[in-house]
Chain A
Amino acid sequence: MTKKLLSATVILAAAVVLIGQGCGGGQEGAATLTIWETYNDEEHPVFKEMVRHFEETHAGVSIDVVRLPFAGAEPKIQTALTTKTEPDIARVDVSFLPKLASKNALAVLDDYVPEEFLAEVFPVALKSCMYEGSLYGLPDQTNGLCLFYNRELFREAGLDPDRAPATWDELIAYGKKLTRREDGVFGLGLRNSLWWSFPFFNTYGAEFLSEDGARCLLNSPEGVAAFQLKVDLFEKHGIEGGAWRAGGIQNDLGFQNERYAMIMNGPWAVKSLKRTGIDFGVGLIPAGPAGSHTNVGGNDLVVFKSCPNPELAAEFLMFVANEENQRNWALTLGQIPVNLKAMDAITSEEHPYLAVFVEQMRSAIPRPPTPYYPEIENLMIPEMQAALDGSKTVKAALDVAVKEIDKLLAGE
Chain B
Amino acid sequence: MSVRRTSVARSTALYFGLTVAAVVVLFPFFWMVVTAFKEPGQAFSSEILPSQPTLENFRRVLSDFGFGRYFANSVIVATTAALFATMFATFAGYVFAKKQFFMKERLFTFLLISLMIPGMMYVVPQFAIINKLGWMNTYRAMIIPHLANVFGLFLMRQYMMTIPNELIDAARIDGAGEWQIFRKVMIPLSIPIIATLFLLTFQFHWNNFLWQLIVANVERLYTVPVGLAMFKSAHEELYTLKMAGSCISVLPIAVLFFFAQRYFIEGMTMGAVKE
Contacts and interface: CB of A to CB of B under 8 A. Distances in A.
Direct contact of A and B (CB under 8 A): yes
Interface of A: 1-2, 8-9, 12-13, 15-17, 19-21, 23-26, 34, 36, 38, 40-41, 66-72, 75-76, 79-80, 82-83, 85, 87, 93, 249, 252-253, 256-257, 265-266, 268-269, 272, 275-276, 297, 299
A75 B210 contact: yes
B139 A272 contact: no
B136 A85 contact: yes
Contacts of B128: 82-83
A19 B136 contact: no
Given A2-B183, A79-B127, A16 B41 contact: no
B40 interface: yes
Given A24-B136, A76-B213, A41 B230 contact: yes
B134 A24 contact: yes
Interface in B196-244: 209-210, 213-214, 217-221, 226, 229-230, 232-236
Contacts of B131: 83, 85
B54 interface: no
A272 B218 contact: no
B140 interface: yes
A20 B40 contact: no
Contacts of A67: 219, 230
Given A72-B209, A275-B40, A9 B84 contact: yes
A9 B39 CA distance: 44
Interface of B: 39-45, 64-65, 76, 79-80, 83-84, 87, 123-124, 127-128, 131, 134-141, 143, 183, 187-188, 191, 209-210, 213-214, 217-221, 226, 229-230, 232-236
B124 A268 contact: no
A24 B135 contact: yes
A268 B43 CA distance: 18
Contact of A269 (B79, B138, B187, B236): B236
A69 B230 contact: yes
A58 B108 CA distance: 60
Contacts of B87: 9
A265 B234 CA distance: 12
A196 B138 CA distance: 40
Nearest to B87: A9
B80 A2 contact: no
Contacts of A70: 229, 232-234
B229 A71 contact: yes
B233 A40 contact: yes
B236 A23 contact: no
Contacts of B236: 40, 252, 268-269, 272
B189 to A, nearest CB: 12
- 8 shortest interchain CB distances as A-B pairs: A69-B229, A20-B138, A20-B140, A40-B233, A83-B131, A276-B41, A256-B41, A72-B213
Contacts of A253: 41, 43-44
B138 A23 contact: yes
Nearest to A72: B213
A28 to B, nearest CB: 15
Given A265-B235, A272-B40, 11 more contacts: A12-B84, A24-B137, A24-B138, A38-B234, A66-B217, A68-B213, A72-B213, A75-B214, A83-B127, A87-B217, A252-B236
A17 to B, nearest CB: 7
B80 A12 contact: yes
Contacts of B41: 253, 256-257, 275-276
Contacts of B40: 272, 275-276
A30 B65 CA distance: 32
Contacts of A20: 135, 138-141
A145 to B, nearest CB: 10
Contact of B140 (A17, A38, A272): A17
B209 A79 contact: no
Contacts of A1: 188, 191
18 contacts: A1-B191, A9-B84, A19-B76, A23-B220, A40-B236, A69-B213, A69-B226, A69-B229, A70-B234, A72-B213, A72-B229, A79-B214, A82-B127, A253-B41, A257-B45, A268-B233, A276-B40, A299-B234
Interface centre among A9, A15, A71, A80 (most CB of B within 10 A): A71
Contacts of B44: 249, 253, 257
A374 to B, nearest CB: 13
Contacts of A26: 137
A23 B139 contact: yes
A69 B214 CA distance: 11
Contacts of B213: 68-69, 72, 76
B124 A79 contact: yes
A23 B84 contact: no
B187 A72 contact: no
A16 B140 contact: yes
A9 B85 CA distance: 11
B124 A82 contact: yes
Nearest to A275: B40
A41 B217 contact: no
A70 B83 CA distance: 32
